[in-house]
């Protein structure tokens, strides 16, 4: 089991394009696996349409790896990919918009996922996560 507690945390920076602070996934300590930062349970029981937006900035080093946004309606037992990108260069800062209409009426979690070897990455910054009705 790889220790990861220092990799993810709130930083007093604004690289994703929002206002400080923001979340950061750091490359060090190294791991080659899947890492998920996930939200509390979101109750969209009374919603008919849903949209997710967030700001992010990923600083690339070399190689390739994948960034994803996934959702789970069974408390993390299974994850469904809503957005993904194979990283081969810096990404952002930019705002991503994802339609989540299929989750209206559900309770779910949202995860920001790094899949690959963190040696290939520098930092991934995330900020201003908004889930709203369209
Ligand atoms: Ca912020």
Q: How do residues 57-101 score in pLDDT, each as one tens digit?
A: 999 999 999 999 999 999 999 999 999 999 999 999 999 999 999
What domain count does the chain have?
Answer: 1
Residue 12 belongs to a domain: yes
How far does the centroid of ligand 1 lie from the alpha carbon of residue 114, in Å? 20
Strand ranges in the chain using DSSP code E only, listed in sequence order: 8-11, 22-26, 32-38, 42-43, 51-60, 65-72, 80-87, 91-99, 107-117, 121-132
Per-residue model confidence (pLDDT) at position 6: 53
Residue 55 belongs to a domain: yes
47: CATH: 2.60.120.260
Range of the domain at 58: 8-132
The pTM (predicted TM-score) of the whole model is: 0.91
How far does the centroid of ligand 1 lie from the alpha carbon of residue 67, in Å? 20
Residue 53 belongs to a domain: yes
SS3 72: strand
Per-residue model confidence (pLDDT) at position 134: 74
55: left (phi over 0), alpha (psi -120 to 50) or beta: beta
Per-residue model confidence (pLDDT) at position 4: 47
Residue 128 belongs to a domain: yes
How far does the centroid of ligand 1 lie from the alpha carbon of residue 130, in Å? 12
How far does the centroid of ligand 1 lie from the alpha carbon of residue 1, in Å? 31
How far does the centroid of ligand 1 lie from the alpha carbon of residue 68, in Å? 20
Residue 2 belongs to a domain: no
Percent of the chain with pLDDT over 70: 95
């Amino acid at each position: 089991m790889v220790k990861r507690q220092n990799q993810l945390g709130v930083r007093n920076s604004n690289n994703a394009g929002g206002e400080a602070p923001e979340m950061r996934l750091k490359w060090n300590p190294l791991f080659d696996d899947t890492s998920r930062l996930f939200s509390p349970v979101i109750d969209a029981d009374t919603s008919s349409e849903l949209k997710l937006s967030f700001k992010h900035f990923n600083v690339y080093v070399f190689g390739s790896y994948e960034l994803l946004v996934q959702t789970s309606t069974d408390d993390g037992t299974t994850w469904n990919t809503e957005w993904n990108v194979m990283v081969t260069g810096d990404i952002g800062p930019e705002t991503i918009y994802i339609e989540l209409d299929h989750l209206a009426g559900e309770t779910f979690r949202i995860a920001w996922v790094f899949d690959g070897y963190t040696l290939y990455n520098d930092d991934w910054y995330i900020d201003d996560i908004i889930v709203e009705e369209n």
